[in-house]
Structure 1
């Protein structure tokens, strides 16, 4: 199933997206690369806990929740798990709806890189982790698009028929 392949790809790419530097901020000649988690922690320790929370939710919580939801949906269909189709459809709608919010972090990095061009004073460079993160977002968006929610109902009907035939 294509959805499985895309979901597994997204899960594997989530590791470099969170381990590799997303951006490097160089201010007055000094700076170091920062990961998503490191950036959220820096924002929190700087007193910007609101922005830190947005970064954490958009960059860590949403992709993980999306991948967990996709895995649940694929398992429900493949193993014909005894789950209410209505509950599965709620999971599908949530996974489908939250996907776009992961792009918020990439949008913020893009704006920051474009706006901060102060020559020798400050410089912001996007890192390899941002490419991996963007790929996670795109791959999981494709995974949601390739999942056919009708399969949840088909699995439910098959399960009902099997129990009524016994």
Structure 2
């Protein structure tokens, strides 16, 4: 049976709060405020999802992303091949956006989340890890930029019965990468970076 511990204070009135084991939320009996505390198992869960996304990242960029059929001619390309084609046709701006949003930003975000999950029990480099976490939050809004761009391109290029676009295996893999990355980011609780009692409660 878990032992009742008084180790947290209410964020409003400062009253000592009883926390049991890995409880996430505690209601203050004095002022009635719902207080949220660190999910002590969250770094491990975040790490697992980040690792899964990293594993899927490679096939997402190797397998064909989309098959476009125009006037009966089919053209299948990976994300990188699409970037190269656009740059060769002079669309440097679109190629750069797709390259950043589809390859660079997801990889950087995953590597940071993986590092944060891997160093969850460490008390060193806390300021660095805090900055890395804020970086992940800042670049997270760009995660779906390439999907919106792809939707616009397909809408422009689709000409009724003369053109048809189909997602390839790479697109489904990339969708999973985005989903697992979002879950990894959602499960990571940044308060564990500075919580000295994490090791005792995990």
Deviations along 1:103-148, one digit per CA (max 9) or x if unpaired, are 1111222333345432453222222211111111111111011011
Which stretch of the first structure deviates more once superposed, 7-16 or 28-37?
Answer: 28-37
Match of 1:129 in 2: 170
The answer to which structure has the higher strand fraction is 2
Match of 1:161 in 2: none
Q: Which has the higher contact order (CA 8 A, sep 6+)?
A: 1
Tell me, in whole angstroms, the C-alpha distance in 2 between the residues paired with 1:16 and 1:75.
Answer: 23
Whose Rg is larger?
2
Q: Which runs of 5+ in 1 are unaligned?
A: 159-166
Tell me, in whole angstroms, the C-alpha distance in 1 between the residues paired with 2:112 and 2:188.
Answer: 12
Q: TM-score, normalised by structure 1?
A: 0.84
| Counterpart contact for 1:21–1:33, Cα < 8 Å | yes
Tell me, in whole angstroms, the C-alpha distance in 1 between the residues paired with 2:90 and 2:123.
Answer: 46
Within the alignment, does 1:148 sit opposite 2:172 as a pair?
no
Name which of 98, 112, 124 aligns with 1:82: 124
Instruction: Quickly say closer, same or farther: Cα 1:155–1:54, change in 2 above 3 A.
Output: farther
Q: Which runs of 5+ in 2 are unaligned?
A: 1-43
| Counterpart contact for 1:99–1:140, Cα < 8 Å | no
C-alpha RMSD of the superposition: 2.1
